[in-house]
Amino acid sequence: GAVVSQHPSRVICKSGTSVKIECRSLDFQATTMFWYRQFPKKSLMLMATSNEGSKATYEQGVEKDKFLINHASLTLSTLTVTSAHPEDSSFYICSAREGAGGTEAFFGQGTRLTVV
Amino acid sequence: AQSVTQPDIHITVSEGASLELRCNYSYGATPYLFWYVQSPGQGLQLLLKYFSGDTLVQGIKGFEAEFKRSQSSFNLRKPSVHWSDAAEYFCAVGPSGAGSYQLTFGKGTKLSVIP
């Protein structure tokens, strides 16, 4: 199956700094990528949908200025957590949909963000 | 709005025993349904999916699930659990016509396996 690589797998940063998480589709072109946040003992919550070459669509309640998403190429989407706070600590997972008519989204391995 | 309910937060079974994980959904039309498995600190792996046709779908690792429209359920089953099946399992629903685009996930069921 298709592979989605997410980097880094773990990151610790200080409050007030910014952190960038990368999501790459390794063997397919992904016109659409999704960013999820997973709280402890909770489900995955869709944060935003990014489409290559256009602005991301954010879910209600997600601060677009805080969680910057860029999908500059068909194989790479980035999520930047700006001015990180301890409450931003979470597990972030990306997924990528193959092509415009792909019927399955493939998930990255996730990034554990800890803000201290 | 669509929603997914996984009534069991944590299930413990003995190795070799059968398993059934429950999933109920609420959706206005015929949904696309998925089961994913997540190992600790890892991303999600698709076990199986239902789009249409035969309501009993086979997945990887010996898992199967049955779509029951009348009960709005999509329960996951395995006849004989292996210790390596211990993980978190998520049921998800997506809008039909768009594959796994914009999934809504249940809260997950943690499976523990006793040797």
pLDDT reading at B98 higher than 60: no
Q: In whole angstroms, how far apart are CA A106 and each of A3, A110, B63, B105?
A: 7, 12, 19, 15
Q: What are the Cα distances from residue A63, in Å, to A77, B72, B91, B96?
A: 18, 34, 27, 28
Task: Give the pLDDT band (50/70/90) at residue A100.
Answer: low
Instruction: Please state the rounded mean pLDDT for residues A64-75.
Output: 92
Instruction: State whether A110 and B101 contact (CB < 8 Å).
Output: no
Is residue B37 predicted with pLDDT exceeding 80? Answer: yes
The predicted model gives B24-48 an average pLDDT of 88
Q: How many CB atoms are located within 10 Å of the residue A39 CB?
A: 11
Structure confidence at residue B43 as a pLDDT band (50, 70, 90): confident
- Which residues of chain B are within 8 Å of residue A105 when distances are taken between CB atoms? 99-101, 103
Return the SS3 of B99.
Answer: coil
The answer to whether B5 faces chain A, any CB pair under 8 Å, is no
- Using DSSP's 3-state secondary structure scheme, residue B69 falls into helix
C-alpha to C-alpha distance for B5 and A92, rounded to whole angstroms: 22
Would you state the pLDDT for residue A103?
63
* Residue closest to B35 by CA, chosen among B62, B71, B2: B62
The answer to whether residue A74 neighbours chain B at the CB level (below 8 Å) is no
Across the interface, of A43, A105, A108, the residue whose CB is closest to B106 is A43
| pLDDT beyond 60 at B97 | no
DSSP 8-class letter at A26: S
- Is the CB of residue B41 less than 8 Å away from at least one CB of chain A? yes
Chain centroid to Cα B84, Å, comes to 17
Nearest CA of chain B to the CA of A51: how many Å? 12
Question: Lowest-confidence range among A63-77, A97-111, B55-69?
Answer: A97-111
Evaluate if residue A23 carries a pLDDT over 80.
Answer: yes
Half-sphere exposure of A9 (CA within 13 A, CB side): 7
